[in-house]
């Protein structure tokens, strides 16, 4: 039997809610909606550590943050010495190629791929000029990738400033289409397409801004617990005071720009699927679409990631099997609890490849299911932890020893914190004990006589944002390259 090809598609900052098939009232995702109907959509998919580098280590090794060693954002941390997804495919006769954002260190570490065509969001300070920047220069736009003036972790927005074909979304799509066409026809392919957006900078094409001109984005939901910054845990105070404040019109404009980046990716995916179809590979290709984390987009007055509310941690997970593969099926929705650690074993399982015993994940098409998923992000005062059992989600902030409890089946969702509801006391205690069992390293300081006591309460004091949340300059000539392992300036 011919081994199936595998196409893994990752985006950055895409919440699970931003899909038409998930019932979103405004966002336009016809391609992903069709993929979901041709396979299975996992509604309870979470990023174990919802920030780029730790999440990608999880994706590529099938391991949780405790195993791979990063729950913070270790910019210059090499990949752990575990079999990677790409290397495991190659060890079993596959060709393996990646296009787009890899976010590893050193940047040119191929982590098991035969080759990587790289787009690293303008990070030459970490030691490499990526392939997208080199290509831009060849098109006559040297160093102009950030000529729009928007920041990498900010919500100022404007249309893309160069011709449409030069947008990194178009570039990555065409590079992947070319890679598929240039495949070795004697071997199956594992292809990883990693889009930089909808991660800021918010610079969609004008044509996609126009699509949303007549759509009214829903306004953010505000939890009753989020009323008043002084009442929030320390970590939430820090995040809520980092961006904005934005008025209603500004929030709608930000959301339109964000949705435009999503729809642009959705439409570009049609070219990749069309290439697979025209190369007569589509029926024998497994496709998985996901994201490393989401973005709060103003919910509860919060923005960006590093949180376990659904808009930040609940990620899209759409799996399409090879034609006729009943393990995946079609027109299915699966509510089992899954994480990014499950992507590697799932794809290997569907391809008939033994799963390395170094991983922590479970195949999403197997019989085994986890009863809880543990999430950890940050350390010390900025820490947040999560225990999710598929219905109830416990979130913990150590500063002030703050608990929150949400019921996914409650129509109020995350608007009401039920951690003090006496009827849910037993559930809260059960999840708390699971959380305690997961603590290690510096987290153990939060315990006293086996009980969580956390850290003393304190209020957040704003600090300067001198780099405008990771602003880039004109990269021609290139900024100083640092090859010693110590980055020059903040990477953003």
Looking at the domain assignment, is residue 477 inside a domain? no
Looking at the domain assignment, is residue 133 inside a domain? yes
Query: What is the reported pLDDT for 487?
Result: 52
Looking at the domain assignment, is residue 33 inside a domain? yes
Looking at the domain assignment, is residue 317 inside a domain? yes
Number of Cβ within 10 Å of residue 440's Cβ equals 9
Supply angle C-alpha 109, 292, 415, rounded to 5.
Answer: 160
Query: What is the reported pLDDT for 362?
Result: 98
Sheet holding 40-46, edge to edge: 115-118, 95-100, 189-198, 5-12, 285-291, 317-320, 40-46, 332-339
Looking at the domain assignment, is residue 204 inside a domain? yes
- Which residues face 376 on adjacent strands? 385
Which pTM was predicted?
0.97
Tokens coding 446: 């939060």
Mean pLDDT by 10 residues, the chain (492 residues): 93 98 98 98 98 98 98 95 98 98 96 98 91 98 97 96 98 98 98 98 98 94 89 91 93 98 98 98 98 98 97 98 97 98 98 98 97 97 97 97 97 96 98 98 96 94 89 91 56 46
H helices of 69-216, in order, are: 85-91, 131-138, 168-181, 206-211
State how many domains the chain has.
1
Query: What is the reported pLDDT for 361?
Result: 98
Query: What is the reported pLDDT for 168?
Result: 98
Helices (H) then strands (E): counts for the chain: 12, 14
Tokens coding 456: 């003393």
Looking at the domain assignment, is residue 147 inside a domain? yes
| CATH number, residue 85 | 3.40.720.10
Range of the domain at 342: 5-372
Rg (CA), the chain: 22
Query: What is the reported pLDDT for 231?
Result: 83
Looking at the domain assignment, is residue 255 inside a domain? yes
Cα distance between the two ends of the chain? 47
Looking at the domain assignment, is residue 341 inside a domain? yes
Query: What is the reported pLDDT for 484?
Result: 53
Beta carbons of 108 and 128 less than 8 angstroms apart: yes
Residue with tokens 């391609």: 31
Residue with tokens 């808009």: 311
């Amino acid at each position: 039997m011919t081994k199936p090809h595998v196409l893994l598609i990752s985006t950055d900052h895409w919440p699970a809610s931003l899909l038409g098939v998930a019932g979103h009232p405004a966002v336009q995702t016809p391609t992903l909606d069709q993929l979901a109907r041709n396979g299975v959509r996992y509604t309870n998919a979470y990023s174990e550590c919802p920030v780029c580098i730790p999440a990608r280590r999880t994706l590529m090794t099938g391991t949780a943050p405790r195993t791979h060693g990063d729950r913070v954002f270790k910019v210059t941390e090499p990949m752990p010495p575990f079999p990677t997804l790409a290397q495991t495919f190659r060890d079993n006769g596959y060709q393996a190629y990646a296009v787009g954002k890899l976010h590893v260190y050193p940047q040119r570490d191929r982590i098991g791929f035969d080759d990587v065509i790289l787009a690293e969001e303008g990070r030459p300070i970490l030691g490499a000029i990526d392939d997208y920047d080199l290509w831009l220069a060849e098109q006559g736009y040297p160093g102009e990738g950030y000529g729009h003036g928007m920041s990498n972790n900010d919500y100022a927005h404007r249309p893309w400033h160069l011709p449409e074909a030069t947008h990194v979304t178009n570039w990555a799509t065409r590079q992947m289409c070319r890679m598929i066409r240039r495949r070795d026809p004697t071997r199956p392919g594992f292809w990883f397409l990693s889009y930089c957006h909808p991660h800021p900078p918010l610079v969609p094409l004008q044509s996609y801004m126009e699509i949303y001109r007549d759509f009214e984005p829903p306004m953010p939901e505000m939890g009753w617990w989020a009323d008043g910054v002084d009442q929030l845990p320390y970590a939430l105070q820090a995040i809520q005071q980092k961006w904005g404040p934005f008025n209603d019109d500004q929030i709608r404009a930000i959301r339109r720009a964000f949705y435009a980046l999503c729809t642009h990716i959705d439409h570009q995916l049609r070219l990749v699927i069309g290439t697979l179809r025209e190369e007569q590979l589509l029926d024998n290709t497994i496709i998985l679409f996901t994201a490393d984390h989401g973005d709060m987009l103003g919910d509860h007055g919060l923005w960006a990631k590093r949180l376990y509310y659904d808009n930040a941690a609940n990620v899209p997970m759409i799996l399409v099997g090879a034609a006729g593969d009943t393990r995946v099926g079609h027109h299915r929705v699966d509510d089992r609890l899954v994480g990014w650690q499950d992507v590697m074993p799932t794809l290997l399982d569907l391809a008939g490849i033994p799963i390395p015993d170094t991983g922590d994940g479970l195949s999403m098409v197997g019989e085994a299911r986890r009863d809880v998923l543990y999430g950890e992000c940050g350390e010390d005062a900025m820490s947040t932890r999560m225990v999710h059992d598929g219905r109830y989600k416990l979130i913990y902030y150590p500063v002030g020893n703050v608990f929150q409890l949400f019921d996914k089946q409650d129509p109020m969702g995350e608007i009401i914190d039920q951690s003090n509801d006496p009827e849910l006391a037993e559930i809260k205690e059960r999840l708390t004990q699971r959380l305690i069992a997961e603590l290690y390293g510096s987290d153990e300081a939060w315990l006293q006589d086996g009980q969580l006591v956390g850290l003393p309460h304190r209020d957040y004091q704003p600090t300067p944002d001198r780099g405008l949340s990771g602003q880039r300059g004109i990269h021609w000539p290139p900024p100083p390259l640092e090859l010693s392992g110590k980055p020059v300036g903040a990477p953003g």
